[in-house]
């Protein structure tokens, strides 16, 4: 058939058919018909209801009972691994110190009073150099949030750094998953003894104790601690070599330590059996930043112990003997290197670190047998009375 004839007939049909719009009721009926059609097709394609439920992700896992020892252990291990992974996402002291160094290096003039400022261009440069962990902070949104009334379009370096520090927040689910919650719940006991309160890090007596120590050490009352002021911490027997490392590696402000850095320091020294505390101290002992301690690094710290012994009129102990004892205690995989994991696995990390950084701790270790015998004699005398 000729296409012209087809077109002619089509036009004729359009002219003879009334141009009528569908009524509202007809549109509703058509919509319902389509819904019924597609719903029936969807429902018919899922003949087995159980198959539908299989597509829903599991959201409830039963907690293991007290007698399910293996499941309890598995839960504890998985929780520990999870928290370790989350803690690695936070900036450590070295990374914070590096961030502060970069911000200070890229500050944008002119200064307003004593406050250092940075513009957006330099802000992005610092973001590129500060490492992967810091990238989340170097966004236009964060910069705009901290931008206030500076006529040069800059933000305060100190305000930005404090913003980063505040982002070390802990999620509620992490608190619920860690053992610290037990210490917090313990404080609900109104009859908790004074001794128990003082050993509980979250109690008021413990907080006052730590803060009181800080105030007592701060002799010039400037709110910060110098190396000389920190040297009086505890029994005032930590070596200068170790204190030098503390101020080299930890975040300081013009060579002085603020209260937050002091809290990290106290937590590490008071909990030397914990992996996190050992990691803190190990980093200070690893002077060559090699990831392990060798004979050189052990000797480097123990020489300071020997010097203190001479000052206090004690006969210095041979380093060779101490070195052999340390390696015997730790039993590292490599007989010439002690890694952080070796220290943790040995369960002797607190003893080893104490020997290397604190004269009083070393003296206690050296005279442990005599001290134990003396305690036994005292106990026997008490029993006789």
Residue-wise pLDDT tens digits, 129-161? 988 888 889 999 999 989 988 888 999 888 888
pLDDT of 65 reads: 80
Least confidently predicted of 16-25, 205-214, 291-300: 16-25
Cis peptide before 110 (omega within 30 of 0): yes
Give 369: exposed, middle or buried? Use CB within 10 Å, 0-12, 13-18, 19+: exposed
163 — alpha (psi -120 to 50), left (phi > 0) or beta?
Answer: alpha
Residue 253 forms beta bridges with which residues? 256
Q: How many CB atoms neighbour CB 252 within 10 A?
A: 20
Report residue 209's pLDDT band, with 50, 70 and 90 as the boundaries: confident
Instruction: Count CB-CB contacts under 10 A for residue 89.
Output: 10
| Most confident stretch, 54-63, 199-208, 285-294 | 285-294
Residue 124 pLDDT more than 90? yes
> Are the CB atoms for 204 and 186 separated by under 8 Å?
no
More confident residue, 229 or 312: 229
State both tokens at 76.
Answer: 């504890």
Q: Give whichever of 25-39, 108-122, 139-153, 167-181 has the largest mean pLDDT.
A: 139-153
Contact criterion met (CB below 8 Å) for 210 and 201: no
Residue 28 has pLDDT above 70, yes or no: yes
CA distances from 371 to 280, 365, 375 (A): 29, 9, 6
Query: How many angstroms separate the CA atoms of 246 and 280, rounded?
Result: 10
Residue-wise pLDDT for 211-253, tens only, equals: 889 999 999 989 899 999 999 999 899 999 999 999 998 888 8
Q: Which helix (H) or strand (E) holds 339?
A: strand 338-339
Q: CA-based angle 93:96:99, to the nearest 5?
A: 150
């Amino acid at each position: 058939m000729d296409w012209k004839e087809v077109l002619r007939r089509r036009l004729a049909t359009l002219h003879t058919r009334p141009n009528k719009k569908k009524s509202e009721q007809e549109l509703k009926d058509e919509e319902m018909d389509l819904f019924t059609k597609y719903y029936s097709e969807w429902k018919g394609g899922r003949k087995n209801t159980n198959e539908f439920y299989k597509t829903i992700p599991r959201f409830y896992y039963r907690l293991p009972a007290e007698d399910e020892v293996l499941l309890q252990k598995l839960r504890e291990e998985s929780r520990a691994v999870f928290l370790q992974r989350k803690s690695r996402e936070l900036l450590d002291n070295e990374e914070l110190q590096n961030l502060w160094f970069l911000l200070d290096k890229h500050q944008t003039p002119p200064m307003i009073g004593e406050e250092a400022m940075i513009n957006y261009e330099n802000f992005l440069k610092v973001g590129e150099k500060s490492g992967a962990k810091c990238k989340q902070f170097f966004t236009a949104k964060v910069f705009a949030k901290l931008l206030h009334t500076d006529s040069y379009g800059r933000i305060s370096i100190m305000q930005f750094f404090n913003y980063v520090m505040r982002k070390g927040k802990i999620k509620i689910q992490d608190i619920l998953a860690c053992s610290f919650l037990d210490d917090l719940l313990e404080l609900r006991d109104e009859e908790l003894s004074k001794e128990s309160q003082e050993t509980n890090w979250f109690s008021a007596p413990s907080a006052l104790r730590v803060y009181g120590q800080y105030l007592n050490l701060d002799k010039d009352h400037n709110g910060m601690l110098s190396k000389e002021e920190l040297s009086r911490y505890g029994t005032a027997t930590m070596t200068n070599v170790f204190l030098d490392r503390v101020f080299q590696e930890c975040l300081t402000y013009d060579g002085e330590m603020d209260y937050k850095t002091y809290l990290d320091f106290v937590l590490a020294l008071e909990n030397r059996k914990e992996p996190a505390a050992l990691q803190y101290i190990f980093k200070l002992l690893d002077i060559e930043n090699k990831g392990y301690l060798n004979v050189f690094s052990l000797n480097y710290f123990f020489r300071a112990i020997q010097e203190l012994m001479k000052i206090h009129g004690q006969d210095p102990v041979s380093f060779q003997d101490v070195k052999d004892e340390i390696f015997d205690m730790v039993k590292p995989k490599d007989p010439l290197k002690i890694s952080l994991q070796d220290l943790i696995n040995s369960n002797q990390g607190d003893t080893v670190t104490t020997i290397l950084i604190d004269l009083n701790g070393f003296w206690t270790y050296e005279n442990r047998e005599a001290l134990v015998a003396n305690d036994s004699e005292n106990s026997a005398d008490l029993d006789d009375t």
